[in-house]
Structure formats: C-alpha cells, structure tokens
Structure 1
Amino acid sequence: MIDPEAERKEILRLYRRLLRHAKPFLKDNDAKIIKKAFNTSVEAHKDMRRKSGEPYIYHPIAVAQIAVEEIGLGTTSIVAALLHDVVEDTEMEIEDVERDFGPSVARIIEGLTKISGVFDYGSSQQAENFRKMLLTLSDDVRVILVKLADRLHNMRTLDSMPRHKQLKIASETMYLYAPLAHRLGLYAIKSELEDLYLKYTDTATYKDISNKIRQTRSARSKFIKDFIAPIEEELDKHGFKFNIKGRPKSIYSILKKIKKQNISFEEVYDLFAIRITLDVPVENEKAACWQVYSIITDFYQPNPDRLRDWVNTPKANGYESLHTTVMSKSGQWVEVQIRTKRMDEIAERGYAAHWKYKDGPGSESGLEQWINKVRDMLENNTGNALEFMDEFRKNLFVEEVFVFTPKGELIILPDKATALDFAFEIHSQIGLQCLGAKVNQKLVPLSYRLYNGDQVEILTSQKQKPNEEWLNYAVTSKARARIKEALREERKHKTEQGKILLDKRLSQLKIADNQANLNKLMAFFNVPSVHDLHYRLATGHIDSKNIKEVIFTATAEKGSSTLDPKSFDREVQKIRGVNSDMLVIGENTSNMNYKIASCCNPIPGDDVFGFETGDEDIEIHRTNCQRAIELMSNYGNRVVRAKWTDQKELAFLAGIRIKGTDRVGLVNDLTRIISNSLRVNMRSITIDSHDGIFEGNIMVFVNDTGHLDKLIQRMGKVNGILTVERFD
C-alpha cells in the first residue's frame, strides 16, 4: 500500500541530506538554484515510479548525493544530476533547462540524454551511445562523472530489474564504466562497480568470497592492531600527524588474484592493505613518505620486487602513493600504502580533487594529458563505433611504461607499447616513415617491446609505407588510428588504379561497363564488391587477362524458389517465437541451431544466455564467461535468454584441475571414482609430477553442475589430493 505522506517525508529527508553535504562549498545563490532544480525534478517526475515501486525522484536525488559525497562535485553537477532524466522522460526540452539553469547545466544534460537514431550497420547502438558520451568529454568531463554516479546508483538498485536486464547492465558496466572510473582515478567507485558486476553475473562466487571475508573479519582486526602498534609508536615519536587504517581488498580483485595465480582464497596473501595517511605540507611530501617507509622497514622486512613508487612518477590518472609489501611477524605478507592527505583525496575522488590542487594555469596533470589524448582520438577516429570502443578500452585499462627520447625527455606510453608506438607518439609523420629504432644504442625492429627506462631513437626513410602487419605491433590508439587511415588511403588509391585497368580491359573486349556485367564479374571471381574487384586487379590478385568474353555470355542458372530444410526450420522458429523470448536448451528440437561456446563450456545447471552469431546459430555462454561482458554490452539486441531443460540424458564436457602430493596408486584411485561411483565417462587425463607434487587436468563428460559438484566432492576426499576445481 502506497503512503503518500511517508514518501513525501522521505523525499524531504533525502533532499536535506544532500544540502548538508553540499553546504561547505555553496556560494551566494547556489542553495536557491539547487532548490529550484529539486522542485523542477519533483514536479516533472511526480507520476513516475521506478521498477522497485518507489517514487522516481529517489533516483535523481541519489545520483546528486553520489556526485557530491563520493565524487566531490559542485553545484552545477548537483543541478545536472537532479535534472538528468527530465529532458528524456518528460515534456521539458533542453532550451527550457538552458533558460532556467544556464548553458553549463544544459550542456551536461544534453551530453547525458541518451542518444537515439540510425547508426551504421554492424555497429551496436550501445557502442554508439558510449562514443557520443565520450565526445562530450571534450566539452565537459562532468558529463562522464555524473554519468558514473547515475550508473553506480543503477547498479546499487539492480535487484528490482528482470534477469536479462541485470546481465546486460552489469556487463556494460564492466565493459566501460568500471574502466572509466579507474582511469578517472575513482578507485572506490571502480571497486564497487566491479563487485556489483560479480554479484549479478556470478552470484555463487560473490557470496562465497564475501562470506569468507566476513568470517575472517575479527581475526583480521586483531592482526592489523598488532601489526600497526609499533609503527604508531614510532611515528608519534617523530612527531608525525597521521591516520592508519586497514581495509580489505575488493571481492572482485581477490577473485582476479585467485584466477590469475591459480590459488585458493586461503592462499591470497594480501587480502587487505594498511594505509598510512600523513598530514604534511606539500613541499615536505616526498621526504615524509620515504621517512615513513624507512620506519616501517625497520620493523618489517620488505619484498624488494613489490616496491611501487608513484610519488616520484604518478600514474596517468594522477594517482600518487608509495606502496610496499612487507613480511609480518606471523609470516604473512602485508601491503602498506603510504600517502599524504592531498594524495589520498586525489586517489579517492580522482578527477574532481585535481581541480582543487592545480598549481597555477600552466600545469597539466597526467590525467589532463590523458583527456587531451582521448579528445585527439575522438577527433581522428573515422572507423565505426565498435572499432572505436575497442581502441578506447585498450587505452583505459593500462599500466604505463616510462621511456626517454635521445634528449632525455620523458614519454609515457601504455604497457606493452612498442618502438612503433613511440614513433607515432613523437609525430604521426615519423610514425608513418618509421623503419626501425635504436633502443639504448642497439638496433631493434619496429615490433620491439619497450621497457621502463629505455632510451629510444627512431630511424625513418622517405620510402617507407605502413602495411597491415603494423597493426600487430601497434598498441596505442593514436598509432593504430593513423596506420588504419594510411592503409585506407593506400587502398583507395589502389582501387582507383584497378578501376582504370578494368575500364581499359572492358573497352578492349567491347563490353559495356554496366551493373549487370559487373555482377557477372564479381560472381565469376567470387568477390563481394566492386571495390574489392578493383583492388584485386590493382594488386595483381586477379589478372586482367583472365577477364574474357565467355564470362559475360554464360547464362546464370535461375535460382530455385523452394525453401531448403534449414530455412524452413528457421521460419518455424520465427513462428514459435524462440528468438524473441526464451531458448530452452536440450529440448529435442532439430530445428534449433545452437552450439555450446568453447570459451566457457557451459553445462546444465550453469547460469547461461544465448547469443545469435552471424550465421543464424545461437551460441550458449555462461553468464560469467570472460567474453560475456563484451557480447552483452555491445550486442545486447542479439542476446537471447536461455535455460536448461530437465532432461538428463545429455552429456557435457567439463574440465577438472587437481593438485596433490604424489603417491603410488593415486591415479588409479581417481579413475576408479570417476568411472565406477558416478558412471562418468572420461575423455582425457594429463598428469605432471615434480618434486613430490603433482598437478593434473581431467576432461570428463557430466550431465549438469550438480553431477560435476558431486564428482569434485568425492575426488577431494581421495588421500593425498589437496585441491580439486573446475576450469573453463
């Protein structure tokens, strides 16, 4: 039952909380403008409700609250957040917003209003929306920051959405918004988005890890207390003003570690980090951080491979901090982060905190340089939206490599960048004519991968031209975009040459240059378009001498008009409405062209979805499959909801990885369990043993996840087995 009075009180409570957080930075007439935006939004959304049933206005207020409290944005952004859905969902137009709230707010809202329209074939609507959203980055980065606040609130309230919407929104978030938050330095938001993605796509793993973190909480608190006691005492002695806290790593980052290092939860050594925040003036920051490092390493032995100095060379998103991993008295590794209050604010608030600490008009932070690079990329991108998204993501999630020019100028490139990327970074023309490079005075090829501290000199030649292979070496978007552009130009030039050759040949044969004849040529040489025909002629793949009169005089066979069985099945499928709603896997339907995806090998019991591939087949993936993120966010319209039928007679291939201590007869015990106790057929087994430890992979045919879990449980009980787990 809806209680309007209770809802009205709740709306006012949320609004007052928002004002309380905004109060410290409000100027003359700001409170009035916020109130006006609030009233406008309440009025515009008065009859609307969210999927959860609550009043719609809760959402804009929550987005504004995140913008202030968690990102640190100001009045303009609060107003834009309160009004961000008004233009899209109600009668109000952008012009009205501009008249009432000024051009800055209007521009942000215009950037946020979802874009619809007709896009080039093969590009997904979603990728196009992302691209347009990023174009607004050139105007005002606040568009993206408010968009992130909007997305964070949607993810926090995803429970009320239907399952297929949850999967799509979660995947999109992981595909683009989490990397964006990371790149804009919003670590807390990035971690929460990743955890929420996991919560909806792989709920079992999410619950499992969060339960384990909860169970170890009290032991962890005691450990942290003991660990920091001597450090606190020493810092007090030196007269430091400081704050120390321990925080657990995010669930997603723990899972990433488990997968990457192939270890169990119990083996993840740095489940938490200790953060020491110092209150010191800017000019003493470096010295203070290193002094604290020295104090910590007096008590605990550091791991020299795990020292990260982002105080002297900040990350591209402005992150500054000194990280070290030390050995505690109980034999556990602990990550310690040392930073100042200013650095901490930039790490937590990212982009928004940067403005606060800018040192005069001329200084450019790494983050602004990155934003300028994105602008550059956007202006020079001529490919389709999906290609663009792909390139953009490559530049989001990157560690960096620091290299030098011959004159000692520092150039920052993404990790795995090559000599070719370096050449394009210096100048496009140098990139296009790059022959090779000298790294630390030694000659290296274009494909040479750069390492921190390399000094690079580029060798060029007027005669050099880019070729397709260059795309295999180029990592940066700038290099890739320029190479693709040069290849397109070259292709265009070749196509024009090919057209001249064809015209010449046709006039020799006295054959008309019309579409019907061109169609016959394309069919004869099996090329998809006239452009391709021209291009192949110019490159010599087709010899113009092979164009003969007989091609034009042969009569083409008339196509038959009856439907072949496969298309008949497809018609039936359309009538059954299979594609539009739910695909049931495992029904005895020969007219369903589905196949199990090899990237994640789903089996009955797994949470799955179907994906329509180009050739009308449907591929079945697990919802937590690595490729799922990309498929769901870019091609949401081709995702089909799917579930398994209850029929048990089907067998599916699954992989099991085992580790244990070597002993005689162990393999025999394992194979007996597999074949006798559960009537499972084994397809292959590979076991590798060294130093008394063995590791093995077994491929078995099972009916479903329950069947597989039982098998894993029984194998785990075999004497000498340490771990048993499923792998993709």
Structure 2
Amino acid sequence: MKTLDKTNEKHIENILNKYKEHEDVINKAIDFIYQKHENQTRKSGEPYVSHPIAVASILSSIGMDYYSVVAGLLHDVVEDTDTTVDEIKREFGEQVASLVDGLTKIDKYKFSSKEQAKAENYRKMLFAMSKDVRVIVIKLADRLHNMRTLDYMPRHKQLEIAKETIDIYAPIAHRLGIWSIKKELEDLYLKYTHPEEYEKIKAFIQNISKESEVYLKKYFIPKIVEAINGFFKDKKPNYTIQYRQKHIYSIYQKIRRKNLKLEDLQDILGIRIIVEDVAECYTILGIVHSIFRPIPGSFDDYISLPKPNMYQSLHTAVEGPKKRVVEVQIRTYEMHERAEKGIAAHWAYKENSSTKDNSIFAWLRDVVNSIKTKNADELIEAVKEELFEDEVFVFTPKDDVIVLPKGATVLDFAYYIHTDIGNHCQRAIVNNKIVPLSYTLQSGDRVEIITNPSQSPKIEWLKIVTTKKAKTRIRLFLKAKEKELAVEEGQKTLLKLSEKLSVSFEDMVKKLTSHFDLNEQELFANVGFGKIPINRVIKLFSKEKEQKHIKDEGKEGSLKLENVSNVLFSVAKCCMPIPGDPVMGVISKNAGIVIHHEKCPNLQYAIRNIPQKVVKIDWKNQDKLYTTRVRVLASDRPGILSEVSSAFAKSNINIIEASTKTNNLNIANMDFKIQVKTIKDLNKSFDEIKSIKGVETVKRVFG
C-alpha cells in the first residue's frame, strides 16, 4: 500500500483535478511507479517516486496533454527498473510508450568513449523531439526538477549539470517559448555556478521590489489607467496591468555585458498591459507614448514580426515621473498565455488527433540531420547555433520570413535557402540595392540572391559566413574541388610518367591500384596530393624494365635525372640551382619534380611541413645554359663593376641582369643574374672575381 507525503499528495491532487476524465489512467500510472520504484531513493533520501510525480506536476502546470503527464510519471521506469517499452505499450498505449522510449537514455549500449555516449544521448533526444516535440517538453520538466534538487549532488556534478542546462535545455525552452521553465532554469544555473552573484542580485531585487511597486502604483500606473479610460470613455476595454520584473539571470547578463553595477540599472521597473485584441495593443501603445516620452531605440514590434518560438508582444521603454525608465510590454491574453507556456498554450495533441508537428518545428529535423559528429562538445555547439537567441528576421522576395543568428551575412542567407543557391551565389540585392556578399543582415531586410552557374565557393568565403551550415557546405565543396584537381593532376602525372618509362598507361594504373590497394580515383588523388611520391612509382617499375630517361641507380630514395628538359622536371626559380649543386626535389602538382638547392628556404619549409613530398635527386650536368644569381660585395671605386663583369666573361658566363647599390660605408652591393653551363665555370669565375682589388665576398643567392 503506497503512502504519500504532503508534497506528493498535493501534486497528485492538482494533476487529478486538471485531468478528471483520465483519472483512472493517471492513478494506474501512479500505482505502477510506486511498484516499480519501490525501495529506490534519491540523493536527498526521499522516495524516488517524488521525482516523477514532481515532473508530472510541472507538465500539468504548463497545460500539457494527459499523454505527456502520464509519460512524465513513467519517464524513468525503463531506464532505472526492469520495465520494457513493450510493457509500457501494453499497459498505457502506444503514444505514452513512444514518449517514454524517446526519453530513455541509451547508456545500456557500449560506446568507445564517455564523450561518444554523451553525444549519442543528445542525438537520440533531438531525434525523438524532431518526431514528437512533447519528448523535449517532458525532458525540460525532468531537468527543471533535477535543477531544483541539485543541492544534494557533489560539487563537480552540480557544475556539470548546470553547464549542460544553460548550453542545451534553457535555449530549447526559449525556442519552444516556455518562458516559465526557461527563466527558472537560467536562475538555477546561476545559483550553482556563481552563488555569490546570484545571492547579491536576489537580495537587490528583494530590496527594490517593494519600492518599485510603490512607485508604479503611485506615480505611473494611475496615469496609464486615467489615459486609457479617458480615451475609451464609455467603451472601456477589458485590460489588466501587471508588474513585470526581470529574472536574476537576465540582470546578471546585463550587468556583465554593459559592465554596470547593480545600482546603475535603470530599467528594472516594468509593467505588462494585457488586452483583448491586436488592435487594442497598438491603441494602448499610442496612449502610453502620448503621456510618457519614449526612449529612442527601445521599441520592438513582435506582433507583426513574431519570434520563431511564436512569442508576440509590443515592447517599449518610456521615461516616467521622476525621470525613471519603465519598460512596458503590451499583448493580448492569448499572447500572454503563449509567452508563459509556449507550445503548451496552444497544444495540438488531443485524443485521437494527429501527432504531426507544426511546420514551425521543422528546424528540429534540420538540427538532427546536420549533426554528424560523435564529439559531445561539437554537438552542443551545433545545437546552440540552431537555438540562437540573438536573431535577425529577414524577408525573401516572396515575403517569407527567414530567421538567422545576429551577425549573419547575405551569404549565410543564401546557404540557408539551399546549398546550390549558396554555392552559386554571385551577388545579393537587399532592399533594392546591390550589396557585397559580406553584408551583415538587419531585421526587416528584404533579400534577393542572384546566382551564376559558373560561380563557386572560394576559401575567402569562410571569412564571410558566420553560420555552421554555411561553413560546412563551403568546406565540403572546397574539399571535393581540391580532390577533383588532385585526381586530374595525378592522372596527368602518371600518364607522362608512363610515356617516359615506356609502360602502357593502363598497365601502370592496374599495377599501382593493385599494389596500393586503391581504386583508380583514389590512386590519382593520392599521386596528385603527393601521398604517393613519384620516386616510389619509378622504383616499382624499375624492377621490371630498364628505363630510358629516368632510372633507379640503387640509391635509397634517390633519382638520377638524365634529361631535365622533360616536362616532369623543372628547376626552382626561387634558388636557381645548377647541376653539381647539392639539390633535392619537391613534388609539385603542376610542375612534376621541382629541383631546389639544399640551402633554399622554400626547400627547408617543405622538409619541415611536407616531408612526404621531398625526394633526393642525383642531377648530372647537361649541355645547356642554367640561370642562377650571384652577389658580390666590394669597396666601391670607379671601374669595379666593369672588372667584375669581365671576370664573368672570361669564364664563359653571360650576364642577364645586373644591379648595384652603395651604402654609407662605401660598400658596393652588386647583384647579378647569370647564365652558366657548368659548376666548374661558375667556380672559375668566383676565383677571378675574388682576385679583383677591393672585392670582399662573392656568393650565390638562394631564395
């Protein structure tokens, strides 16, 4: 026989009074949880059933349907007892079973890490709520009661649960418009994470509440009432005026954001005027502005432009008597009910009715479909972006309202509409004016995107967009494009190499795909990216056939180049090496192997950052001219440049360019770009130059 304490008894009484037509089912569920949770207790020492009963009571208080209330009572039985979802379905029906299943964690499965399990639990919850939004409403009630009883948890768990609450659950409550739960979750988060600030603000509110109430009653509200009654005369509307007070967390955010002290807050006072219809809202607004001076920039019309969570109201701030700022909200009774209870205020779920979600919650499915990560932190960030509270409302050319996070650009807008629109976005027209793609959207903007099939994403676009969706789509395109280019480059490289090795291209591809266990596209991409160095390919085929132009000399990782004029090889323009220099090759997408001098800074960078693309080279002299750079430092005097030039000529070296500068110490810095056949000729010229009177140094210039 179950025994009820006064708190549980009161909760159950309130629930049964509200759902009298379903009293039998609710009583059955209560008996069920007392049986299933028998001998289980919470951290506080209370019987465990106090928790599901409290959750059901919260759901009842915001007007959820009885299926949700029953699921709230049963939400832990599958996870914490031997109860199965099938048993719930037999006893309480398919709807309740589906809700309980969506609420049940998946910790019973094995995951590679705690982070993966955490991410999967979030994902399951989001997926369930995208099918039936009641799942998350029940979860919010569950989280609210857990936050109310967080005192009994260890400090590290308090912080962990509080952070999860502010990151995930409070924003979801906001997005669903359940203000009462959102406000309490945020305040409880602050209580456990910043207890000193919480108590300080709480005390401040308590101290000024009485004084504020006196001010509003004595100086402000009477003027409002007099003006309204005077305007309507005999046809007085049915209206209510309430005091409105900011909650603790919102005050904490404001003083931090604006670097204020509590005493500096001027808009702590507020009233709410609730009327019958929309027309009266605007009439009352005009009356308020006629008797009190409006504060510039403080007016927001959320009636004509509702928030995504369906919140509607007029917001304004005015200077009241004694120059005190008072915030005023004006809304209808229906809007007020919706503002406090969100989705539950106009619940569509009734017995035997469809359980299809309203289209306004299509964003839930977008969240689920866009989240692929197994990292819990990344998943949270993705969800937080989808649940943004700072929003802008813009219009399409067809007057559809699009909601984006504050700071979004027209390029974000394009990707929001469709990936193809974003990828081919060439320009944008906002309010009939052409704007750059980096234009930051403002609420009320009307946006038209002009596309061009030849346009495609650029890496610079990642600096323009702010939303995760746009960034992800751009990165995916760039990655695919990079691979496409690598495939093309890799195919060209192997085709040229097959010609030089006198090997059939088809045979080469067949052998390489088999050797590296790759398909053709993967092979070409790996060669294009330099993941399969050319010297590995050459060594592989050198075992089968003597090469005509490129052959393996048996040196580990070393290539002997016998014909540099071949398109597969080129000489680096940065360091201009010549045969006989100590050199290495760097595999390039467009130039095959690029030969660098070992002292070249660019080669040193490649060795540090892309060592897989660096190969050893054995480069023999060819009967041709090579270009390189030389610097000569000498004491300046008439004829010195002519003598150095003659020294080059004696060694059969052509001068292509020459420049000279003399510093304050009378040292001439002479730079030459020359053409030379052999390293022997170059060394001979150096000896000649060093013998010239006044020459201090002669050296090569690399990079």
Question: Scaled by the length of structure 2, what TM-score is found?
Answer: 0.68
Contact conserved, 1:171 with 1:197, CA < 8 A, in 2? yes
Bigger mean CA offset, 127-136 vs 229-238: 229-238
Amino acid at match of 1:390: E
1:542/1:333 CA distance change after superposition, 3 Å: farther
Alignment of 1:362-377 (within 5 A): 368-377=358-367
Output the CA distance in 1 between the equivalents of 2:367 and 2:554: 47
Contact conserved, 1:517 with 1:552, CA < 8 A, in 2? no
Deviation track 1:397-439 (CA, whole Å, cap 9, x = no partner) reads: 2333233334555444332221112223333322221122223
1:96/1:406 CA distance change after superposition, 3 Å: closer
Contact conserved, 1:195 with 1:252, CA < 8 A, in 2? yes
- Aligned partner of 2:669 in structure 1 is none
1:329 is aligned to 2:326: no
Amino acid at match of 1:113: T
Contact conserved, 2:241 with 2:274, CA < 8 A, in 1? yes
1:207 is aligned to 2:199: yes
Deviation track 1:348-374 (CA, whole Å, cap 9, x = no partner) reads: 00011133699xx99x9xx94442022
Contact conserved, 1:377 with 1:478, CA < 8 A, in 2? no
1:457/1:47 CA distance change after superposition, 3 Å: same
1:98 is aligned to 2:89: yes
Cα offset, 1:210, TM superposition: 1.1
Structure 2 portions without partners, runs of 5+: 540-551, 558-703
- Aligned partner of 1:194 in structure 2 is 186
- Aligned partner of 1:8 in structure 2 is 3
Cα offset, 1:141, TM superposition: 0.4
- Aligned partner of 1:243 in structure 2 is 240
- Aligned partner of 1:341 in structure 2 is 333
Amino acid at match of 1:340: T
Cα offset, 1:242, TM superposition: 2.0
Bigger mean CA offset, 507-516 vs 199-208: 507-516
Paired residues, number: 526
Output the CA distance in 2 between the equivalents of 1:515 and 1:118: 37
1:133/1:552 CA distance change after superposition, 3 Å: farther
1:80 is aligned to 2:66: no
Contact conserved, 1:346 with 1:354, CA < 8 A, in 2? yes
Deviation track 1:116-136 (CA, whole Å, cap 9, x = no partner) reads: 335577954323321221111
Task: Decide which of 287, 295, 306 is 2:298's aligned counterpart.
Answer: 306
CA RMSD of aligned residues (A): 3.7
1:133/1:9 CA distance change after superposition, 3 Å: closer
Cα offset, 1:199, TM superposition: 0.8
Q: SS at 2:347's partner residue?
A: helix
Contact conserved, 1:131 with 1:385, CA < 8 A, in 2? no
Amino acid at match of 2:340: E
1:132 is aligned to 2:124: yes
1:502/1:128 CA distance change after superposition, 3 Å: farther
Output the CA distance in 1 between the equivalents of 2:60 and 2:120: 29
1:515/1:244 CA distance change after superposition, 3 Å: farther
Alignment of 1:401-480 (within 5 A): 401-480=392-471
1:138/1:390 CA distance change after superposition, 3 Å: same
1:533/1:150 CA distance change after superposition, 3 Å: farther
- Aligned partner of 2:260 in structure 1 is 263
- Aligned partner of 2:225 in structure 1 is 232
Amino acid at match of 1:372: A
Amino acid at match of 2:225: E
Contact conserved, 1:22 with 1:68, CA < 8 A, in 2? no
Contact conserved, 1:152 with 1:189, CA < 8 A, in 2? yes
Amino acid at match of 2:5: E
Output the CA distance in 2 between the equivalents of 1:340 and 1:50: 42
Bigger mean CA offset, 470-479 vs 123-132: 470-479
Amino acid at match of 2:268: L
- Aligned partner of 1:111 in structure 2 is 102
Task: Decide which of 59, 63, 66 is 2:51's aligned counterpart.
Answer: 59
Output the CA distance in 1 between the equivalents of 2:44 and 2:284: 50
Deviation track 1:64-122 (CA, whole Å, cap 9, x = no partner) reads: 001110x3211101110100000001011111001111111111111110123355779
- Aligned partner of 2:281 in structure 1 is 289
Deviation track 1:590-649 (CA, whole Å, cap 9, x = no partner) reads: xxxxxxxxxxxxxxxxxxxxxxxxxxxxxxxxxxxxxxxxxxxxxxxxxxxxxxxxxxxx
1:274/1:480 CA distance change after superposition, 3 Å: same
Output the CA distance in 2 between the equivalents of 1:207 and 1:263: 17
Alignment of 1:544-693 (within 5 A): 544=534
1:221 is aligned to 2:213: yes
Q: SS at 1:66's partner residue?
A: helix
Q: SS at 1:55's partner residue?
A: coil
Output the CA distance in 1 between the equivalents of 2:335 and 2:515: 69
Q: SS at 1:339's partner residue?
A: strand
- Aligned partner of 2:270 in structure 1 is 273
1:20 is aligned to 2:10: no
Q: SS at 2:407's partner residue?
A: coil
- Aligned partner of 2:31 in structure 1 is 39
Q: SS at 2:426's partner residue?
A: strand
Output the CA distance in 2 between the equivalents of 1:516 and 1:356: 62
Output the CA distance in 2 between the equivalents of 1:458 and 1:214: 52
Q: Which has the larger radius of gyration?
A: 2
Cα offset, 1:26, TM superposition: 4.2
Amino acid at match of 1:418: T
Cα offset, 1:294, TM superposition: 1.9
1:149 is aligned to 2:144: no
Higher relative contact order (CA 8 A, sep 6+): 1
Q: SS at 1:324's partner residue?
A: strand
Cα offset, 1:538, TM superposition: 2.8
Deviation track 1:469-507 (CA, whole Å, cap 9, x = no partner) reads: 434333445434543443454455456557767977998
Bigger mean CA offset, 340-349 vs 286-295: 286-295
Structure 1 portions without partners, runs of 5+: 519-530, 556-728
Amino acid at match of 2:272: R
1:231/1:92 CA distance change after superposition, 3 Å: same
Cα offset, 1:551, TM superposition: 13
Output the CA distance in 2 between the equivalents of 1:108 and 1:357: 13
Output the CA distance in 1 between the equivalents of 2:73 and 2:9: 10
Question: Scaled by the length of structure 1, what TM-score is found?
Answer: 0.65
1:469/1:8 CA distance change after superposition, 3 Å: farther
Q: SS at 1:305's partner residue?
A: coil
Cα offset, 1:43, TM superposition: 0.5
Cα offset, 1:306, TM superposition: 0.2
1:235/1:470 CA distance change after superposition, 3 Å: same
Amino acid at match of 2:12: L
Deviation track 1:204-244 (CA, whole Å, cap 9, x = no partner) reads: 11111112222223212211212212223443453122222
Output the CA distance in 2 between the equivalents of 1:552 and 1:193: 72
1:204/1:552 CA distance change after superposition, 3 Å: farther
